[in-house]
Structure 1
């Protein structure tokens, strides 16, 4: 596929031979030719370029192509991500991708600064979704299983931009091949939120996320990977050693945290919510492998038995938990375990489901009030996530999911959960944090992720469900992606 004139064919009397003939690049060409496939080409090219030093390390921030002028926000009411009351009489200076200054009064702006007069509106941090699937959010399952991988990533890129324009400036991706999309966004090649990637969710044979066709069975450990595994959607592991291997593979690719599947799930029609998958030693292997890289594993678990097994294995975060009982809630609180759960309250929050998936969904909906009631009663550290899947129309409900929390929390607590609270969970990735710095707050030194809201969400959270009209300014990483303020 890739070729050049060999050294013995070229005129070597000149100052240098063709750079294509350098041994390193010839090795790259041979590897790409050998590994050419829908996944192999991307992975092979990336690994080869990395070996030559042509790509930056995972988590490193790209250099800005050119300096941008400072931006000053004035005339606003401030929700800083923590306080229950708004503050006035402040100015914010943004330089680069950080909040340089948060000052009282009317300090003179730097030379050449751009002024944004908020007209007395509320200025707040960008929202954070702690359970999102950047590649799976907008496309139906049938398309994800059959479409060309290029189409899938183009659709994910388009959905990433829509996610940002809903006011979500950061997401924690809990399963899927989002590494390339993350890098494209970080490098300015695509528009979207920051992504904290987990990579492939790690499950057992027949567990949630195992979407293989029956023709892929029987599975032989160490044998060829299924299409599902090749594309990075999920990895199957059926022993502690395999779990360690799969965890290390995701961390090697740049995962900021790991997703382990401890039981059944709604989107997997061959599973039930009461079932358990990994044994405690298998879960412990995954948790320890993540801990060895100074990050953590989040465990997908609905029933108490799965949650308690995950906690016994050392897990620091439980995803979902809708079927937990009070003893389990108390155990989570006593051990400081995070609960990342989602307010599914009706069929409108999911695409149409049938069979076992619908049965599972109805169980989740029935357990939603219980999980939030228990979380509040026992003061469990709780994160907001939406976990919307397989429909661009359903993905648009990301803000609506946040407003569902008004059934259990006041507006200030909702906004705090979706900003500084979720940022605390993200920070658990420690040295694997791809964006080290302050997120979810408006203070000096924090990332400049800012929204200007046309209504006061502390008084009325409902308009957050309509971000097109509500958020007049959307800034992420110091860049203004939307500004529809009058004048």
Structure 2
């Protein structure tokens, strides 16, 4: 879901459209020279530099060979309970043992005493936009890759510092950005990238300016050149664009099945791809041993996606109960966001504000359906276009306590979301276990000063209450 606040309302095509004012025309001319290729090549060059030398601010230099966490209360991400008297041994980037006997520490291990803090898996956000989360729309329109990369880099660090060690990126040119994180050039979470959001003309993610309509031959729009969207209107182009994302390293494919909240010319009620087109997209993803997730709010869009074999539905705030039952029957995932008020979306104007109200009223209903029908439910925050909204990522997670026990919230944001990410199968960029504390799992760990099973709101203040953050066996933060 793309959200534009009142500050940027002059940039969208509604009544009093500002698309022809001189400032926006100037921004558009600047963006015309900015291609997705130049943006990615700039990041790629930085990634190469990162291979040669890791700066001091990247995830703490070399991990010790062995790290032993003692004086631990353990939440393993699956059991739903906290166990006292545990100690966890990490070797390189994996958990090598879980000991409840207080055995002596290995002589070559670095020992970290956790002071009876709760050690738990790193959090996973199943709906994130690594490039767009903190970059305001006017900066994106200016098309300066330096400031875009700088803003995204800062937000990646903040995301990891909130305890989110993994995100599923559901739209944006994040492939080389992911490489920069994976090589240690910059700190940030693991990224499961989708690449461009693929939509039909007129669907959500079709944010073309009037000057870009109609298409001039095969000329791509500015949003497509950026790598944020791909607009297709026949099966051949659909298959090509999907394969292009997979070629670049997509772990899953994001198709847009309808309208959106902040795409003012794409009403929420519309349906975009036909069932035949969706099925073709699913088949391409299956040929690459991965899956398709579909942006869909309405029952009609959701049902069409399910009939085409789609395994994951994003949003679904306007669905009815029969459709919820169909999701459960098909064994598909519901990946949704607990939007409650404008505090979660930022201030919206015009049609976007009206549509957001529909989301707010739909949120309690979809979680009631999910619980009643036993739908496999994932959690994501879908924060966009504002560094000020970034901290809402943690609060959006604690919103789940309105419908779930605290332990269930933590399970959803760890082992539950990890199960959804596992649908990427052979396209999984991080083959190994995440979201759990067990032998052989990646050492993505948090130590909480307090027990989040008793008080989930501890996670709303990560700066104070997350006293240790480890990702891939390296310490990102430690106050111990």
The alignment's TM-score, normalised by the length of structure 1, stands at 0.87
Please state whether the residue corresponding to 1:76 is helix, strand or coil. Answer: strand
Residue 206 of structure 2 corresponds to residue 224 of structure 1: no
Residue 96 of structure 2 corresponds to residue 96 of structure 1: no
Q: Distance in 2 between matches of 1:465 and 1:405?
A: 13
CA 1:114–1:385 in 2, change beyond 3 Å: closer, same or farther?
same
CA 1:67–1:193 in 2, change beyond 3 Å: closer, same or farther?
closer
Contact persistence 1:241–1:285 (CA under 8 A): no
Cα drift, residue 65 of structure 1:
8.2
Corresponding residue for 1:389?
Answer: 384
Corresponding residue for 2:319?
Answer: 324
Q: Distance in 1 between matches of 2:349 and 2:43?
A: 40
Equivalent in 434, 437, 443 of residue 439 of structure 1: 434
Q: Distance in 2 between matches of 1:409 and 1:90?
A: 26
Corresponding residue for 1:235?
Answer: 230
Unaligned runs of 5+ in 2: 1-32, 52-59
Corresponding residue for 2:269?
Answer: 274
Q: C-alpha offsets along residues 444-470 of structure 1, whole Å, 9 cap, x if unaligned?
A: 000001111012111111121111111
Cα drift, residue 210 of structure 1:
1.1
Q: Distance in 2 between matches of 1:412 and 1:476?
A: 22
Residue 424 of structure 2 corresponds to residue 429 of structure 1: yes
Residue 245 of structure 2 corresponds to residue 250 of structure 1: yes
Equivalent in 24, 30, 37 of residue 40 of structure 1: 37
Corresponding residue for 1:13?
Answer: none
RMSD: 2.1
Cα drift, residue 40 of structure 1:
3.2
Where do residues 338-357 of structure 1 align in structure 2 (5 Å cutoff)?
A: 338-357=333-352
Q: Distance in 2 between matches of 1:411 and 1:75?
A: 23
Q: C-alpha offsets along residues 230-267 of structure 1, whole Å, 9 cap, x if unaligned?
A: 11010101111111111000000000000000001112
Cα drift, residue 417 of structure 1:
0.2
Moved more, 262-271 or 434-443: 262-271
Q: Higher relative contact order at CA 8 Å, sep ≥6: structure 1 or structure 2?
A: 2
Q: Distance in 2 between matches of 1:123 and 1:251?
A: 36
Instruction: Point out the structure with max Rg over C-alpha.
Output: 1
Q: Distance in 2 between matches of 1:473 and 1:67?
A: 14
Equivalent in 121, 124, 128 of residue 128 of structure 1: 124
Unaligned runs of 5+ in 1: 1-35, 56-63
Corresponding residue for 1:336?
Answer: 331
CA 1:230–1:75 in 2, change beyond 3 Å: closer, same or farther?
same
Moved more, 245-254 or 137-146: 137-146
The alignment's TM-score, normalised by the length of structure 2, stands at 0.88
Cα drift, residue 204 of structure 1:
1.0
Corresponding residue for 1:33?
Answer: none
Corresponding residue for 2:160?
Answer: 164
Q: Distance in 1 between matches of 2:88 and 2:201?
A: 52
Contact persistence 2:258–2:269 (CA under 8 A): yes
Equivalent in 70, 77, 85 of residue 74 of structure 1: 70
Corresponding residue for 1:21?
Answer: none
Q: Distance in 2 between matches of 1:275 and 1:133?
A: 24
